[in-house]
Amino acid sequence: MTAMLQILEKDGAVVGELPGLDDGQLKELFVHMLRIRVLDGRMLKLQRAGRIGFVGTSTGLEGSLVGAASGLEAQDWMWSGLREGGAALVRGLPLAEYVAQMYCNSNDTAKGRQMCNHFQHKGSNYPSWSSVIGTQITHGVGAAYASQLRGEDVVHSIHLGDGATSSNGFHSGMNFAGVWKVPAVFVCVDNGWAISVCSREQTAAESYADKAVAYGMPGLEVDGNDVLAVHAAMASAVRRARAGEGPSLLVLKTYRMLGHSSSDDPSKYREDSEVAWWQERCPLERYEAFLTQRGLLAAGEREALERSLEAEIDAVIHEQESAAPMPLRSLVEDVYEEVPRHLRLQFNAFLEVAERRGEATRGDGAFPL
């Protein structure tokens, strides 16, 4: 196991080779990270106010998300684990679609049929999430194999959590990917926890990166709170895949600062001191220090950026909150060319219940997971 790749120290000092990004690109990474942080805060507040049903935050993971997404090319595909919504924003998922999906309203491109906080975006090659752990791994490998057979210039980044390394999909996906040498990068976001299972108890391997050896591909541990290290590692693994040299596994060492979801209380299973240790290594503060030292961020500029991101996000929230819900009839549309009898019967029975009990109302924000 080689040492973990790191470019920035926790105080922002440069300790590795900087990737070839210009000043504008360096600053853009920061704005993307900050947008995710602000958006998370806003979504959590909406959930606590009972206006949306469920939120799984990415607070603390901003360096991993933005670093990985920025290492891909526009034509590439990204397959989600449980927290890549912010990475999708970097690749072109419109903020309005993100928020519409949180409300499951009539602007939601999944037509309210997905659980909220499970995004997708056709325009940037981003298939819908699945909450079922690890299923995206074999789907992504199959799609990467298809790209290879078609001779397309496309790389597939397949994201997964530390918990997903124990899924069947991880083993079969990694195995087929290695055998076929598909153009894929596996991005394991080791955020310390799989709900209440600590990452150290998920495997007896010294590092998740060691798992790559068994499947005949390189594995690398990366400081996931160092956006530049993640970007550099991703760009290099993507280049390798694009050149036909096969897949790699990147393990991004980071930390989920908040609960597993808006329904979770992490104080039940982890110590405050652990959270404080990671707070010291906050990806945003580290990168802010780096940009400030290079003269790319002026005093007070972060606060100004935050205010403008809040305004941007609030405007979108107002727009989406007043959008109509999906019409009831949409429940039986779009699956078959003509609505079959059994669905028509179910739909009529449903209408009858709605008539007796009244229309569905907004949820109270409770979700049992």
Ligand X SMILES: Cc1ncc(C[n+]2csc(CCOP(=O)(O)OP(=O)(O)O)c2C)c(N)n1
**Smaller CB distance to ligand X: residue 130 or 236?**
130
Which residue is at the shortest CB distance from ligand X?
161
Site for ligand X in 219-278 (CB under 6 A): 256, 260
Site for ligand X in 155-184 (CB under 6 A): 161-164
Site for ligand X in 63-82 (CB under 6 A): 81-82
**Smaller CB distance to ligand X: residue 213 or 369?**
369
Residues near Mg ion (CB under 5 A)? 161-162, 191, 194
Q: Out of 256, 281, 286, 287, which one is annotated catalytic?
A: 256
83 lies in the binding site for ligand X (CB under 6 A): yes
Site string for ligand X, 94-133 (x = CB under 6 A): -------------------------------------xxx
| Total of chain residues touching ligand X, rule CB under 6 A | 16
CA distance 114 to 121: 13
**Smaller CB distance to ligand X: residue 132 or 353?**
132
Min CB(344)–Mg ion separation in Å: 43
Q: In the beta sheet, which residues pair with residue 187?
A: 159, 250
187 lies in the binding site for ligand X (CB under 6 A): no
Min CB(154)–Mg ion separation in Å: 27
Q: Out of 48, 269, 318, 329, which one is annotated catalytic?
A: 269
Is 269 tagged catalytic? yes
Min CB(161)–ligand X separation in Å: 2
Which residue is at the shortest CB distance from Mg ion?
161
Q: Out of 37, 91, 260, 281, which one is annotated catalytic?
A: 260
Q: What HEC string does the chain produce?
A: CCCCECCECCCCCECCCCCCCCHHHHHHHHHHHHHHHHHHHHHHHHHHCCCCCCCCCCCCCHHHHHHHHCCCCCCCEEECCCCCHHHHHHHCCCHHHHHHHHHCECCCCCCCCCCCCCCCEHHHCECCCCCCCCHHHHHHHHHHHHHHHHCCCCCEEEEEECHHHHCHHHHHHHHHHHHHCCCEEEEEEECCEECCEEHHHCCCCCCHHHHHHHCCCCEEEEECCCHHHHHHHHHHHHHHHHCCCCCEEEEEECCCCCCCCCCCCHHHCCCHHHHHHHHCCCHHHHHHHHHHHCCCCCCCHHHHHHHHHHHHHHHHHHHHHCCCECCHHHHHCCCCCCCCHHHHHHHHHHHHHHHHHCCCCCCCCCCCC
**Binding site partner of 3, from Mg ion, ligand X, none, Cβ cut-off 5-8 A by kind:** none
Is 260 tagged catalytic? yes
Min CB(141)–ligand X separation in Å: 17
**Binding site partner of 260, from Mg ion, ligand X, none, Cβ cut-off 5-8 A by kind:** ligand X
Applying CB under 6 A, the residues found at the interface with ligand X are: 81-83, 131-133, 161-164, 191, 193-195, 256, 260
Catalytic site positions: 256, 260, 269
